[in-house]
Amino acid sequence: KIFVALLLLFELQVFAAPETDVLHAPEMVALVRQHPPLPPVTPRLTLLLMPGLSDASADFWAGALAFLRNVLLASWCAFLACPYRATLSGFLYLIGAFAYSVLGSVALQYNLGHSTQAMLIFVPMASYAFISLESERATAWLRKVLLHCVLAPLYLFAGIAKIRHVGLIPMLDGEWIGKTLEPTGRTVWPGVNELLQARPFAVLMALGNFVMEIGLPLLVLFQTTPRSAHWVWCALFAMFGFVFHVLIFFLIGPNFMRMCLMFILALNPLGIVAPGKESPKRQVPLSEKRTGTVQMVLSNADRLRGLFATAAFLSWFLVQYSGDLLHLSGLYAWDEETDPYWPVPELSMFQVNLGSKAQSTFRGPGWL
């Protein structure tokens, strides 16, 4: 509930201004009054969600999206106000999650970027746990899918995209960091931006970014034993990411502040403040004691959650491999973007254009 409340506050412009966000979708449609021009590989969601959109019908579709926004606010406010009951709370959250996904997808079509996809993936996926939040297995799945199927892949492939299109050395020399810090229109302290563009500080920030996007995600995904060491890396990844985006908030703008909410949830602070009761231990059959194995009984809900989590995890690889095939086949030049943006982005994190089309972001020879 705290997570949903903070997300609503964020989307209601407490921390998002001047970024356009999920709740701006009706105003975007009313302003543009047509389908947005999109790259060839980006799905045309507005054609599906708003068929026949034109100057004559724009007010109708903007009104429909405004109604959907009211549904989102009403359902999630009711979810926050009502005591938790699995069926009712799950239903209210599911309605809000559906509305959030539709509004966010439409808004993304009109303002292509990389700051909303993680939330657009996680919010509907969380619906599969909201009907059984009293189950320790469901809540553990919720945090694990957030870390392993959303956050870690997002940062890992953001780093891999930089290495693919820019190269390892240009990624570490700090030049692209300096170019990113050049615009100071939204920074809190312009003088700090100018200081950080100097060579030693830019290199240090580039190294920190490399740790955040390559080192820590790999440790989170591949370090599984011992369990204590694994969760140390997960906690370090979440805390590092939180601090990283707070700094970005002051230096560049609020575009990635949604990630802070997700890192807070991944850290499970309420589990530290008020740890839950231990689950009752089941009687282990004698046959299992003799063989030294314990069989876990999975419910249909567990299998469904596992299926959706696996699909979400593999979707990140699918986007990367399809981008590689498009470039290696010669259909796209190395400096042409093949980013579908929805539902899973390819590039992410400070990427606007590549190669000769770069705009205050990446500039380099594009080493493969």
- Rounded distance between C-alpha atoms, residue 178 and residue 98, angstroms: 39
Assign 118 to helix, strand or coil. helix
CB atoms within 10 A of CB 225: 7
Return the axis-axis angle of helices 227-251 and 258-267, rounded to nearest 10°. Answer: 160
Tell me the pLDDT of the chain (368 aa) as tens digits. Answer: 899 999 998 888 766 666 667 898 999 999 999 999 998 889 999 999 999 999 999 999 999 999 999 999 999 999 999 998 878 888 999 999 999 999 999 999 998 888 889 999 999 999 888 777 777 788 888 988 999 999 999 999 988 888 877 778 888 887 778 777 877 777 778 888 888 877 788 888 889 989 999 999 999 998 777 777 888 899 999 999 999 999 888 888 777 888 999 999 998 887 776 655 544 444 444 444 445 555 567 778 788 888 989 999 999 999 989 988 988 898 888 777 788 999 888 876 654 444 434 333 322 333 22
The CA–CA distances, whole Å, from 355 to 108, 327, 331, 347, 365 equal 24, 14, 17, 14, 7
Sign, Cα dihedral of 95, 37, 15, 120: positive
Structural tokens at position 242:
């939180």
Structural tokens at position 315:
């979707």
Assign 319 to helix, strand or coil. helix
The CA–CA distances, whole Å, from 183 to 171, 179, 191, 248, 363 equal 19, 8, 12, 13, 16
DSSP 327: H
What is the distance, to the nearest Å, from the Cα of residue 37 to the centroid of all Cα atoms in its chain? 24
Tell me if 109 sits within 8 A of 45, measured CB to CB. Answer: yes
Q: Give me the residue spans of the domains in the chain.
A: 1-111, 136-271+308-353
Return the axis-axis angle of helices 86-110 and 58-81, rounded to nearest 10°. Answer: 150
